[in-house]
Amino acid sequence: MESGFINHEQIFSYLKSARPPDRRELDDILAKARQLKGLDNTEAAQLLLLEDEESLAALFAAALYAKSEIYGKRLVLFAPLYVSNMCNNECLYCAFRKSNDQITRRTLSQDEIRRETELLVDRGHKRVLLVSGEGLGEAALTYSLKAIETIYGVKRGNGEVRRVNINIAALPVDAYRQLKEARVGTYQLFQETYHYDTFRRMHPEGPKADYLYHLTAMDRAMQGGINDVGVGVLFGLYNYHFEVLAMLQHIRHLEETFGVGCHTISLPRIEPATGSDISLNPPHAVTDTDFRKIIAILRLNVPYTGMILSTRENAEMRREAFSLGISQISAGSRTNPGGYSSNESGEQFSLGDHRNLEEVIRDIVSHGYIPSFCTGCYRLGRTGSDFMDLAKPGLIKLYCLPNAMTSFKEYLVHYASAETRATGEELIAGMLADIPDEKTRETTVANLAKIEAGFQDICL
């Protein structure tokens, strides 16, 4: 078995020897977690075994503390932009797999990508995640580079996309250099499952069947100059205890090798996908309670890493997840190429949250969170280890909260209904007192006034 830096034997050893912590042990582990320096594998394995309501409540409270200390009440919003569902892989859980004849295939032209981007910009989005199946062969990189250029080139009145993240197949180092030059933001690629035998069983054919090449994609991305990378597991393919510890191994490998771990973790659960029996009956289905536990444990283990929840989950679960550690969510999503202008081609999976962007924003605001469209840190070079240098001492609070306010103000001025604008303005006014530095607070008030007067893209 060639599983690279994912040490299966070590993980199974942790899980075999682990036992649920008693109350005193749990208090000690959670007290350590509140120092915001992470936990070791033994402690993580113990937390994975928590089952009783009292212990889970204590775990969730610690996760809320960590989330609040680092991210405050901010929630970053983005939209996926699917450009192709052509694929050469046979991922058994995915509607895009090569042999599935139950969906309509489509690859968007650059004009169609431009139109999809215009629709997202007209709704107020500033961040886009470019997603493509692995079906374009050698033309895939050229197509993706042109798509990034097309998206960045869209200007619509007061709107534009200011950050393009990308989720495409594993690539060689030189390809990542080209993506970096094209101003790609975060490069995402999910291992789906870190368990070697399960990975091989779920990916019987196609380029993705190479476990090691897929696993080491983040190494090559960082070698190519992309210092913001995002990992993820498709929960439900294998035992979630193993997957969490394996993901932490992956993150620590990146930290030890490159001095910085992943920028984001995505937490998708298997949802029904057309033509996939496995998606309808996941071999290791994760319950809602266990999913909450996973989110909280990851927040405590990697407190400074962004955590993403997509519209796979329903509105109620997404709402609960805000207090458990989630810091980024997609909104108003479509998972098929051309999905924002039509619904003709096949979706990758079923959505759990069908609300549009403004409906999601109203819900976020009603629960005391501030939607953020900010991309300032990325475009000012505060990425990778530079971001961590700011985040770990807590200095990021002097940037992120003010920038969330100004970017949200842009949305309220240019895109929101009167009702949404009123509640949003009230939230911003109430949160000004949360800015710890008086000078920064005064600057923020001035910047909010500038946006009201017609200025755009103001950030600290």
- Answer whether residue 394 shows pLDDT above 70: no
Close Cβ partners of 256 (under 8 Å, ≥ 6 residues apart): none
- Answer whether residue 372 shows pLDDT above 90: yes
Q: How far apart are CA 143 and CA 30, in angstroms?
A: 47
Q: pLDDT, tens digit, for every residue of 67-110? A: 998 888 999 999 999 999 999 999 999 999 999 999 999 999 99
Q: How far apart are CA 121 and CA 155, in angstroms?
A: 8
Amino acid at 52: D
Q: What is residue 456's predicted lDDT score, i.e. its pLDDT?
A: 87
Q: How far apart are CA 300 and CA 47, in angstroms?
A: 10
Chain-wide mean pLDDT for the chain? 92
> Do strands 328-330 and 155-156 pair parallel, antiparallel, or not at all (unpaired)?
unpaired
Query: With helix as H, strand as E and coil as C, how does 238-259 read?
Result: CCHHHHHHHHHHHHHHHHHHHC
Mean pLDDT along residues 299-323? 94
- Are residues 120 and 333 in contact, defined by beta-carbon separation less than 8 angstroms? no
Mean pLDDT along residues 442-453? 94
- Are residues 2 and 200 in contact, defined by beta-carbon separation less than 8 angstroms? no
Q: What is residue 216's predicted lDDT score, i.e. its pLDDT?
A: 97
| Other CB atoms within 10 Å distance of the CB of residue 210 | 15
Paired residues of 269 in beta bridges: 235
Beta strand ranges found along 296-366 (DSSP E): 306-309, 328-330
- Answer whether residue 378 shows pLDDT above 70: no
- Are residues 266 and 230 in contact, defined by beta-carbon separation less than 8 angstroms? yes
Give 35: exposed, middle or buried? Use CB within 10 Å, 0-12, 13-18, 19+.
exposed
Q: What is residue 457's predicted lDDT score, i.e. its pLDDT?
A: 84
Q: What is residue 448's predicted lDDT score, i.e. its pLDDT?
A: 95
CA dihedral 210, 213, 218, 222 (to 10 degrees): -160
Residue that the structure tokens 């017609």 belong to? 454
Close Cβ partners of 435 (under 8 Å, ≥ 6 residues apart): 398, 401, 402, 441, 444
Paired residues of 371 in beta bridges: 75
Mean pLDDT along residues 365-393? 72
Q: Return the domain boundaries, the chain.
A: 69-354, 394-452
Close Cβ partners of 389 (under 8 Å, ≥ 6 residues apart): none
Q: What is residue 342's predicted lDDT score, i.e. its pLDDT?
A: 82
Close Cβ partners of 442 (under 8 Å, ≥ 6 residues apart): none
pLDDT bracket for residue 20 (50, 70, 90): very high
How many Cα neighbours within 13 Å face the side chain of 320? 14
Q: How far apart are CA 165 and CA 340, in angstroms?
A: 18
Residue 76 parent element (H or E): strand 74-84
Paired residues of 80 in beta bridges: 129
Return the CATH number of the domain spanning residue range 69-354.
Answer: 3.20.20.70
Residue that the structure tokens 């097309």 belong to? 150
Q: What is residue 138's predicted lDDT score, i.e. its pLDDT?
A: 67
pLDDT above 90 coverage of the chain, percent? 82
Q: How far apart are CA 46 and CA 4, in angstroms?
A: 25
pLDDT bracket for residue 158 (50, 70, 90): confident
Close Cβ partners of 181 (under 8 Å, ≥ 6 residues apart): none
Angle at 91 between CA 89 and CA 95, to 5 degrees: 95
Mean pLDDT along residues 271-295? 95
Q: What is residue 248's predicted lDDT score, i.e. its pLDDT?
A: 97
- Answer whether residue 382 shows pLDDT above 70: no
Token code pair at residue 327: 């810091």
Q: How far is CA 233 from CA 75, 191, 195, 375, 384, in A?
A: 21, 6, 11, 25, 21
pTM assigned to the model = 0.94
Q: What is residue 381's predicted lDDT score, i.e. its pLDDT?
A: 60
Q: What is the DSSP string of 18-49?
A: -----HHHHHHHHHHHTTTS---HHHHHHHHT
- Are residues 107 and 157 in contact, defined by beta-carbon separation less than 8 angstroms? no
pLDDT bracket for residue 390 (50, 70, 90): low
Q: What is residue 352's predicted lDDT score, i.e. its pLDDT?
A: 85
- Answer whether residue 174 shows pLDDT above 90: yes
pLDDT bracket for residue 399 (50, 70, 90): confident
Residue that the structure tokens 């490159």 belong to? 258
- Answer whether residue 145 shows pLDDT above 60: yes
> Do strands 159-160 and 155-156 pair parallel, antiparallel, or not at all (unpaired)?
antiparallel
- Answer whether residue 153 shows pLDDT above 80: yes
Among candidate residues 377, 356, 452, 354, the one with its CA nearest the CA of residue 408: 452
Residue 131 parent element (H or E): strand 127-132
